[in-house]
Amino acid sequence: MTARKIVVALGGNAILANDASAAAQQRALRETAKYLVKFIQQGDSLIISHGNGPQVGNLLLQQAAGSTPENPAMPLDTAVAMTQGSIGYWLQNAMAAELTALGLEMDVATVVTQVVVDENDPAFGAPTKPIGPFYDHEAVTALKAAHPEFHFVEDAGRGYRRVVASPRPIDVVEAGAVNQLVNAGVIPIAAGGGGIPVVRREHELAGVEAVIDKDFASEKLAERVGADQLIILTAVDHVYVNFNTPAQRRLNTVSISELQQHIADGQFAPGSMLPKVEAAIEFVTHRPEGQAVITSLSNLGEFIENGSGTIVSVVNAESSV
C-alpha cells in the first residue's frame, strides 16, 4: 500500500468522560494511542488534531471561580492555547510510549496552532458552540446569575451547556510548519481545540473570543497540508439517516451530492453530526482525489483492515445499508 498523509480528528469528549482529573484523561489518551499507531504500522504519515470542549469549559470555570483583579482570568483564545498545550503534552507522551512499546522510533510534537477567522463572521453575533460540562436547570440558573455575560442552551435533552461564538476557519497559520514536521518523520499534534482563533489586523494576528469547531479546523488543516485522507472520529461507527428510528439506515460509501440532499432533508443534528458531515464534504470538494471518513475510535481497526465506516468521495459506489 502506498503511504498516505492522514489527518485524524479526535473529539474532546473522547479524552474526558465523567472523570475530569488529569490522570483519567491521560489514561484515556493511552488507550487512544493504541488505535492511532495502527496508521504508523501500515506506513502512513499521521497528523493528529483534537477537540477541547470539555477541557476549555472546565478551565474557564476554574478561572472564573478564582479570578481577582491581581490574578485575572485569561481570555478565551488564551484558554484554548492552554488546553492545546495540556492535551498535546498528554497525547504526545501517550503516543511516544506506545510507539516505543512497538519498537517504532518516531518523535511526536505538539504545535501551538493559530487558525485565522474573519472578524466580520456573523457567528460572533450568534453564539452556538458548546463548551464545558452539562448542567441541570438549577445549576445553570446559578451560573447565569454569577456570570450574566455567559450564554447557555439546552443540548439534546442532556442538560444545559455554555455556548460561545464559532466562526468558520479560513486559514491555518502553522500549516507549513506541520508539513515540515511530517516530511521530517515527526508525528505532529496540531489545531488542538479547533485552533487558537485569531484575526489578521494589518501585519499582526490578534486573538478573539471564540472557539472554532474542531471538525472544520481539522478539514482546513488537512486541506492546507495536502492530506490524502481526513478521518473524523465520533461516537458511532457510521453516519446514519433516520437515526434512532425504525427506518434507520447506515451510510457506507456516499457521494457529496447524496450527503447534501440528506442535509437539505434535515437528517443531521446541528452541533453534533452536521459539522462532521459538512467538514467531510468540504475536504473532498477541495481535495477531490482525497477521501473523508467518519467513524468511531473503536472502529479504527475495522476501518484500516476492512474499510468499515462512512467514506465520503466525489461520487459514490455502494451507498447505504
Has residue 216 been placed in a domain?
yes
pLDDT in tens, 200-230: 998 999 999 999 999 999 999 999 999 999 9
Report how many domains make up the chain: 1
Mean pLDDT confidence for 68-74: 88
Has residue 266 been placed in a domain?
yes
pLDDT band at 319 (very low <50, low <70, confident <90, very high): very low
HSE of 232 in the Cβ direction (CA atoms, 13 Å)?
Answer: 33
Distance of alpha carbon 271 from the chain centroid: 12
Quick one: pLDDT at residue 242? 95
**Residue labelled with grid coordinates 477541495:** 286
pLDDT in tens, 4-27: 999 999 986 678 767 889 999 999
pLDDT band at 2 (very low <50, low <70, confident <90, very high): low
Has residue 125 been placed in a domain?
no
Q: How many C-beta atoms lie closer than 10 Å to residue 71's C-beta?
A: 8
Quick one: pLDDT at residue 18? 73
Cα distances (angstroms) measured from residue 243 to each of 13, 72, 100, 239, 240: 21, 45, 41, 9, 5
pLDDT in tens, 121-172: 999 999 988 777 788 999 999 988 988 888 899 877 789 988 889 999 999 9
Has residue 34 been placed in a domain?
yes
Q: Please write down the HEC assignment for all residues of 203-248.
A: CEEEECCCCCCHHHHHHHHHHHHCCCEEEEEECCCCEEECCCCCCC
Has residue 156 been placed in a domain?
no
Quick one: pLDDT at residue 30? 94
Mean pLDDT confidence for 239-244: 95
pLDDT band at 318 (very low <50, low <70, confident <90, very high): very low
Q: Which DSSP symbol is given to 52? A: -
* Spatial separation of the C-alpha atoms in residues 217 and 108, rounded to whole Å: 20
Selected catalytic residue, list 129, 179, 192, 309: 129
Active site residue 159: no
Residue among 251, 316, 310, 314 nearest 285 (CA): 314
Q: What is the CATH number of the domain that holds 44?
A: 3.40.1160.10
Has residue 112 been placed in a domain?
yes
Quick one: pLDDT at residue 1? 54
Would you say 136 and 144 are in contact if contact means Cβ atoms under 8 Å apart? no
* Spatial separation of the C-alpha atoms in residues 176 and 31, rounded to whole Å: 30
Q: Which residue has the higher pLDDT, 58 or 166?
A: 166
Quick one: pLDDT at residue 63? 86
* Spatial separation of the C-alpha atoms in residues 296 and 170, rounded to whole Å: 27
Active site residue 12: yes
pLDDT in tens, 77-121: 999 999 999 999 999 999 999 999 999 999 999 999 999 999 999
Would you say 229 and 6 are in contact if contact means Cβ atoms under 8 Å apart? yes
Selected catalytic residue, list 11, 12, 51, 53: 12
Active site residue 220: no
Buried b (16+ CB within 10 A) or exposed e, 92-114: bebbbebbeeeeeeeebbbbbbb
Selected catalytic residue, list 5, 193, 276, 309: 276
Active site residue 276: yes
pLDDT band at 264 (very low <50, low <70, confident <90, very high): very high
Phi then psi for 181, rounded to 5 degrees? -65, -45
Has residue 177 been placed in a domain?
yes
pLDDT in tens, 298-308: 999 999 999 99
Has residue 152 been placed in a domain?
no
- Bridge partners (DSSP) listed for residue 198: 116, 207
Selected catalytic residue, list 51, 57, 194, 214: 214
Selected catalytic residue, list 13, 159, 252, 271: 13
Q: Is the pTM of this model over 0.85?
A: yes
- What is the domain range of residue 105? 5-117+172-313
Q: Which residue has the higher pLDDT, 157 or 187?
A: 187
Active site residue 129: yes
* Spatial separation of the C-alpha atoms in residues 206 and 251, rounded to whole Å: 41
